[in-house]
Amino acid sequence: MSNDTSKHITLIGAGLAGAVLATLLVQRGWSVDVFEKRGDPRLKGYLGGRSINLALAERGRHALRLAGADDAVMQHAVMMRGRMVHFLDGRTDLQRYGRDDSEVIWSVHRGELNVILLDIAERAGARLHFDRGLASVDFDARIARFADPRDGSTHEAPFVSLVGADGAGSALRTAIATQAELGERTEYLGHSYKELEIPPSADGGFSIEPNALHIWPRGRYMCIALPNDERTFTVTLFLPNEGDPSFATVRNGAEARALFERDFADALALIPNLEQDFERNPAGLLATLYLDRWHLDDRAVLVGDAAHAMVPFHGQGMNCAFEDCVALAEHLDANPDRAAAFAAFQAERLPNARAIQAMALENYLEMRDRVDNDDYLLQRALERTLAERHPGRFMPRYSMVTFQRMPYATAFARGQLQRELLVELTRGHHSLETLDWDLVDATVRERLEVLPV
Ligand SMILES: Cc1cc2nc3c(=O)[nH]c(=O)nc-3n(C[C@H](O)[C@H](O)[C@H](O)COP(=O)(O)OP(=O)(O)OC[C@H]3O[C@@H](n4cnc5c(N)ncnc54)[C@H](O)[C@@H]3O)c2cc1C
């Protein structure tokens, strides 16, 4: 740490949020040290353990553009135009996400993304310290203690402020909780996930449609698959922890094969190493983390999953974490009083985190249970028609979250209003042809203000 501490800051975690935040702060003239528990993935290869690929959307891309990382990341991204729904009888249906190819999401490899972001942060001037896991914090003396996982040795670093970008199991959060009541609660979903792989086809290409997020909805459970640029797909099986089927009844490769034979037959044909993948890969827990407070005066603040981990069904955890980074950098720029900047950051972001957490939970039901349901499909057809007839006034919630940058809380509130309208307008109808369009248009104009985009 240099002698001038007025613009020095210490980040814990060089994952997705840590690397982006480091870059944004260095660009604004901050002196940034980043401490990361794992080894440098650029030297050792990425030792992930968590989801292999992620859906990147507009909010995340906006932050990457500001960090000067978007071009490099997009070179490895695979476009996903919509959901390819795989029905039990083998039929498929592509449900587009947006109006055209300007409204799509992108599949990116977590490890590749992390490596690109670390390179950019380091080139910008951030000091990255690997093999330094935050172990404890002396907040009075402003000293952080780190353990080196290779030999258990401990190291100390003085700090002015700590930023916890250390993920859902944040050690900084645990340390802050010894000083202040955070109102922390974790709600487990009662469902877990396991990753499997679809390799390239015999000719080296993708073995199913590459430009889609594939979903096999089966009521209480589902599979999804996202493409990787090396022509593979990462398949994620989501199952309850209890009941039948669940991770309590599907316990080994043979039981997984039996489940796939019955419920995911077309996917099974694509996963040659199902048994090995199932037995080798750990089951990941899914939970939502709520805190009432994200900072300790001017000494520490939390961002990304450390502050608000969410279930992955809207594909927004990383996108939201990147949006946090932009907001925190802007508040730190605007306010020389760090405690005030952290408080303003929390005031802006906490309600929005709550909104996307709620939408992510709702989306699980939608993905696993509703995408093949007739009422839902009619409401969705009306949603699309209204979006065309009333652009700027009616926008599908998915679009507000995924293709726009309006606050999540706005998208959430507006989405509820629109959903009530869709249910009301389609009640008693089986097709859009029987709707009274004059009434429909008048109702939309009366109930929905023009959107703030
Ligand atoms: C199955 C699954 C699918 C997902 N899909 C999507 C998706 O499609 N789109 C999307 O936007 N989001 C998705 N997410 C969410 C996304 O993964 C997270 O929101 C995102 O990784 C959060 O970034 P982060 O930097 O806050 O935390 P992380 O990415 O978890 O990074 C934390 C970093 O801190 C380090 N660290 C941990 N402890 C310490 C310590 N004590 N000291 C120092 N360093 C430490 C870790 O090693 C890591 O590098 C998904 C999540 C899951 C589980």
- CATH code of the domain in which 203 resides: 3.30.9.30
Q: Is residue 143 part of a domain?
A: yes
Q: Is 54 helix (H, G, I), strand (E, B) or coil?
A: strand
Using the mean position of ligand 1's atoms as its centre, give its distance from the Cα of residue 139 in Å. 25
Q: Is residue 91 part of a domain?
A: no
Distance CA 300, CA 289 (A): 18
Q: Which residue's CA lies nearest to atom 50 of ligand 1?
A: 312
Share of the chain above pLDDT 90, in %: 92
Share of the chain above pLDDT 70, in %: 97
Asked whether residue 51 falls in the same domain as residue 142, the answer is yes
For 87-135, what is each residue's pLDDT tens digit? 999 999 998 999 899 999 999 999 999 999 999 999 999 999 999 999 9
Distance CA 327, CA 345 (A): 7
Write down the pLDDT at residue 433: 96
Write down the pLDDT at residue 46: 62
Write down the pLDDT at residue 48: 53
Handedness of CA 32, 33, 35, 38 (dihedral sign): positive
Asked whether residue 17 falls in the same domain as residue 133, the answer is yes
Closest ligand 1 atom to the C-alpha of 35?
43
Write down the pLDDT at residue 211: 98
Closest ligand 1 atom to the C-alpha of 171?
41
Q: How far is CA 340 from CA 165, 225, 305, 334, in A?
A: 19, 43, 22, 10
Task: Give the H or E element holding residue 65.
Answer: helix 58-66
Q: Is residue 3 part of a domain?
A: no
Chain centroid to Cα 52, Å, comes to: 12
Write down the pLDDT at residue 374: 84
Asked whether residue 136 falls in the same domain as residue 55, the answer is yes
For 61-90, what is each residue's pLDDT tens digit? 999 999 999 999 999 999 999 999 999 999
Q: Is residue 213 part of a domain?
A: yes
Taking a C-beta distance cutoff of 8 angstroms, is the pair 64, 116 a contact?
A: no
Using the mean position of ligand 1's atoms as its centre, give its distance from the Cα of residue 52 in Å. 11
Domain containing 44 — which CATH number? 3.50.50.60
Taking a C-beta distance cutoff of 8 angstroms, is the pair 379, 422 a contact?
A: yes
Using the mean position of ligand 1's atoms as its centre, give its distance from the Cα of residue 137 in Å. 22
Asked whether residue 60 falls in the same domain as residue 128, the answer is yes
Write down the pLDDT at residue 49: 46
Asked whether residue 275 falls in the same domain as residue 310, the answer is no
Residues 189-215, mean pLDDT to the nearest whole number: 96
Q: How many domains does the chain have?
A: 3
- Indicate the pTM of the whole model: 0.96
Residues 50-75 as b or e (16 or more Cβ within 10 Å = b): ebbbbbbbbbbbbbbebbebbebbee
Q: C-alpha dihedral over 286, 216, 383, 437, to 10 degrees?
A: -150
Residue 57 has pLDDT above 80, yes or no: yes
Q: What is the 3-state secondary structure (H, E, C) of 304-328?
A: CHHHHCCCHHHCCHHHHHHHHHHHH
In one letter, which amino acid is 292? D
For 328-378, what is each residue's pLDDT tens digit? 999 999 999 999 999 999 999 999 999 999 999 999 887 777 766 888 889
Asked whether residue 61 falls in the same domain as residue 117, the answer is yes
Q: Which of 286, 315, 332 is the last residue of a domain?
A: 286
Q: Is residue 97 part of a domain?
A: no
Altogether, the residues listed in the chain come to a count of: 453
Asked whether residue 395 falls in the same domain as residue 329, the answer is no
Q: Which of 254, 286, 318 is the last residue of a domain?
A: 286
- Reported as a pLDDT band with limits 50, 70 and 90, residue 35 is very high
For 273-294, what is each residue's pLDDT tens digit? 999 999 999 999 999 999 999 9
Q: Which of 286, 318, 346 is the last residue of a domain?
A: 286
Write down the pLDDT at residue 47: 59
Q: Which residue's CA lies nearest to atom 1 of ligand 1?
A: 51
For 305-327, what is each residue's pLDDT tens digit? 999 999 999 999 999 999 999 99
Q: Is residue 83 part of a domain?
A: no
> What is the token pair recorded at 279?
């037995």
Residues with CB under 6 A from ligand 1: 12-18, 35-38, 50-51, 54-55, 133-134, 165-167, 171, 193, 236, 284, 304-306, 312, 315-319, 321
Taking a C-beta distance cutoff of 8 angstroms, is the pair 266, 133 a contact?
A: no
Q: Which residue's CA lies nearest to atom 31 of ligand 1?
A: 15
Phi/psi for 56 (5° steps) reads: -100, 130
Q: Is residue 344 part of a domain?
A: yes
Distance CA 417, CA 421 (A): 6
Closest ligand 1 atom to the C-alpha of 226?
8
Asked whether residue 308 falls in the same domain as residue 175, the answer is yes
Q: How far is CA 371 from CA 358, 376, 380, in A?
A: 19, 7, 9
Question: 358: burial class by Cβ within 10 Å (0-12, 13-18, 19+)?
Answer: middle
Asked whether residue 136 falls in the same domain as residue 180, the answer is yes
Write down the pLDDT at residue 368: 74
Task: Give the range of the structural domain holding residue 385, as residue numbers without chain letter.
Answer: 373-447
Asked whether residue 353 falls in the same domain as residue 262, the answer is no
Q: What is the C-alpha end-to-end distance of the chain, expressed in Å?
A: 42
Q: Is residue 68 part of a domain?
A: yes
Using the mean position of ligand 1's atoms as its centre, give its distance from the Cα of residue 40 in Å. 16
Q: Which residues are 226's β-sheet partners?
A: 234
Residue 234 has pLDDT above 50, yes or no: yes
Taking a C-beta distance cutoff of 8 angstroms, is the pair 164, 302 a contact?
A: yes
Chain centroid to Cα 282, Å, comes to: 20
> What is the token pair recorded at 65?
């553009």
Asked whether residue 64 falls in the same domain as residue 178, the answer is yes
CA angle 333, 337, 342 (to 5 degrees): 75
DSSP code at position 302: E
Phi/psi for 380 (5° steps) reads: -70, -35
Asked whether residue 139 falls in the same domain as residue 193, the answer is no
